Structure 1
């Protein structure tokens, strides 16, 4: 009678070394992505601060509010472009994260870590984006453009109603 194959994993030192490298790379990439997020929040905060300064100037100089608002739209546009570049660079790390998670699952039979895979599943996002490139990954990325479009719209609306505010 033959003995059943052992269910214990017999990995070679090379497999263990490669797994350790993959784990280090995975968590390094996750940390790098989080560092980009921290910088992106700083960019957003600076953009909102600049927009607030324009709003204050519009309310002070009501007769020139429309001119100030139109010129002031340069601030959110500038920060929109800056943040979109950071988001585009950040998204360059996502394919490698997905690849490492796939290696963990398919090669090593691990169920975790799966930070990126879980996030894409929860938010119903595809690990491989439909569109690639700076325009889609950065400039028109929903998490980037919506806040700046709202800032621009807010400035223009406030410019239209600012002259009606009492002194």
Structure 2
């Protein structure tokens, strides 16, 4: 049996204290991610409410409905940018969650926790994003932009149809 050379690093087994800290960090990060999700849903709801307000204003001001709808497009754009920033910040926690899951499951043979890796596997997403940065993690994230693109398309469609509807 040979002793490893000092230059060869081997993972040191975690003490019970370190393992406990790692578990606490993991669940803290999961709670933080969930808190971001709650705020993201509030932002999304406010954006949709703003779009509803634009529709209400259009009904009151029928002659200028097209202009109101086009100006109202700024509301979903504003909330899109706001939500994309939150999503980008939220995604900053994912690599550490993935790393902790790897340490606990692969290094220590735990069966759990696997919240993030299980979700990634179910939705066929890699745990390490190929594209990084605000544009991909936030602005063009599918869970962020789809609702805002639909809102914008709806407002533009209503702006185009308003003169026909309210002759």
Tell me the TM-score normalized by structure 2: 0.89
Aligned residue runs from structure 1 range 103-122, under 5 A: 103-122=103-122
Question: Are positions 1:58 and 2:55 aligned together?
Answer: no
1:165, 1:71 → 2: CA distance? 19
Q: How many residues align?
A: 155
Q: Is the 8 A contact 2:83 2:144 kept in 1?
A: yes
Aligned to 1:132: 132
How many Å separate the matches in 2 of 1:88 and 1:135? 8
Kept in 2, the 8 Å contact 1:85–1:139? The answer is yes
Alpha-carbon distance, 1:166 to partner: 5.6
Distance in 2 of aligned mates of 1:84 and 1:19: 34
The runs of 5 or more residues in structure 2 that have no matched partner are 1-12
RMSD between aligned residues: 1.4
Moved more, 56-65 or 157-166: 157-166
TM-score (norm 1): 0.89
In 1, Cα distance between equivalents of 2:41 and 2:33: 13
4+ runs deviating over 6 angstroms: none
Task: Report the 3-state secondary structure (helix = DSSP H, G, I; strand = E; otherwise coil) of the residue aligned with 2:37.
Answer: helix
Q: Deviations over 1:124-164 (max 9, x none)?
A: 00101110000000001000001000001111111222333
Q: Which position in structure 2 is the counterpart of 1:24?
A: 24
Give 5+ residue unaligned stretches, structure 1: 1-11
CA distance in 2, matches of 1:133, 1:166: 45
- Tell me if the contact between 2:51 and 2:72 (Cα under 8 Å) persists in the aligned partners: yes
